[in-house]
A and B are shown apart, each in its own frame.
Chain A
Amino acid sequence: MTSYILLVLGAVLVNNFVLNRFLGICPFLGVSKKLETSLGMSGAVIFVMTCAAAVTWCVDHYLLKPYGLDYLQTIAFILVIAAFVQLVEMLLKRYVPPLYSALGIYLPLITTNCAVLGVAVMNVQNKSGFVESTVFACAAGCGFALALTIFTGLREKIERADPPRAFRGVAIALVTAGLLSLAFMGFNGLVK
């Protein structure tokens, strides 16, 4: 149990995917203008990461490993994840329209996102088991959600703060992201 708690803490705070590993920067900067959309994106990322980790673990464990095809990891994972997300999107659209209208438009955006692929690859590198992989992926998604929500809150405030002309828009957003990343460095050493 403790190991799982540590795993989650590590993925959410210490090795935050966005702020420490610098994965998934595009949605982090792209959809962080309004809290509403960033929450939708967060939900989508948590969902996709968890599912993708489960699927890729299976592909790795039952297909690639037995035939010694580890070097095909990246391409196989991209293929599987992309197809899987498309399928999920269709399923949602058909059977759970409210969930689709909340997450739908974000799903295609992250099909081949580096953070999603990163989780899959990392799970293989860490030689994690199935449950461990899924928990880690879910925690990583939560870490992404945390970073995105904090960042969106900051950006909403900055929008109103009337920064100097040269800093307006993406410039001040990048500076803020850097500062947020520095702040998260403070969690280093929390989990050994």
Chain B
Amino acid sequence: MITSILVVSGIGLVCGVALALGARYLSVEENPLIGTVTELLLGANCGACGYAGCGGYAQAIVAGEAPPNRCPSCTPEALAQISAALGIAPIEAAAREVALVLCRGDDEQAQKRFVYDGITDCAAAAAVGGGDKACRYGCLGYGTCLRACPAGAIEMVNGVARVHPELCISCRKCVAACPRGIIRMVPAASHTHIFCSSRDPGATVRKVCKVGCIGCRICTRLAEGAITMDGTLAVVDYKQPLDNEELPAKCPGKCILKV
């Protein structure tokens, strides 16, 4: 009885002492701040900050190489905590931006030129005769952005991608993935958008889509400078306030929506 207790305790004691000594003499210095900051970041490893994952960004923050507000999905509270942990003055969060698919020409609104019977990928579909959608600028709806999104914020609605702004973490992966280049980052605070990217003349747009910008310029007059024309396409200038409630109803192309 006594022997067994002694032996096991002895082993434990020896092991414990060895570990304690090891921890004392063999430990490698690592800044504990890095761990703290990594935990405060979202952990999505999306790369929107320009570093390899949240760990890499945390290291850069602690080393003072990067400001802590590069992470677009970091909440203001978390940002404040990071600033506090670093012992620096609180840094204001950059205005949150969310991705927006500038096309609402879904299966009911927009026409298709032919039956596409290939792999489900927008880039692959765009390489076949320029894509099956009659509009050269429209969302192809094969979900390349959806697969690129690390946050699951993109949904296919009737053959057109739609970003859920509340889920968007502003990583811009979809912007890079879209072969048509019709996903744009817009301020989360803006709610009125022009959902069309077509640079074709109005007559062409009318032929292929029921919800396209026809370049009539009515909105530019109503919006008082917050909407400008880029060729035949009306584009919202998000730097200006846009609060005309009548816009969606007045758009003959039905492509201005308040969301």
Among A59, A69, A80, A84, point to the contact of B4 (Cβ < 8 A). Answer: A69
Tell me the nearest residue of chain A to B21, going by C-beta: A87
Among B3, B16, B18, B23, point to the contact of A69 (Cβ < 8 A). Answer: B3
Q: Chain A 159-173, CB within 8 Å of chain B: the 1/0 string?
A: 000000000000000
Q: Is the CB of A86 within 8 A of B22?
A: yes
A79 to B19, CA, bound (A): 12
User: What's the tally of chain B residues with a CB closer than 8 Å to chain A?
Assistant: 15
A79 to B11, CA, bound (A): 8
Q: Is the CB of B3 within 8 A of A86?
A: no
Among A72, A86, A87, point to the contact of B8 (Cβ < 8 A). Answer: A72
Q: Is the CB of A80 within 8 A of B11?
A: yes
Query: CB within 8 Å of A: which of B65-89?
Result: none
Q: Is the CB of B19 within 8 A of A83?
A: yes
Among A67, A79, A91, point to the contact of B26 (Cβ < 8 A). Answer: A91
Enumerate chain B residues within 8 angstroms of A69, measured Cβ to Cβ: 3-4, 7
Among B4, B11, B12, B26, point to the contact of A90 (Cβ < 8 A). Answer: B26
| Chain A contact residues, majority secondary structure | helix
B146 CB, min distance to chain A CBs, angstroms? 18
Task: Say whether A158 faces chain B, with CB atoms less than 8 Å apart.
Answer: no
Task: Say whether B91 faces chain A, with CB atoms less than 8 Å apart.
Answer: no
Q: Which residues of A come within 8 Å of B, CB atoms? A: 59, 63-64, 67, 69, 72, 75-76, 79-80, 82-84, 86-87, 90-91, 93-94
Instruction: Give 4 nearest A-B pairs by CB, closest first.
Output: A83-B15, A90-B26, A94-B26, A90-B22
Known: A79-B8, A80-B11, A83-B15. 14 other contacts (CB 8 A): A63-B11, A64-B7, A67-B3, A69-B4, A72-B7, A72-B8, A76-B7, A76-B11, A79-B12, A84-B15, A87-B22, A90-B22, A91-B22, A94-B27
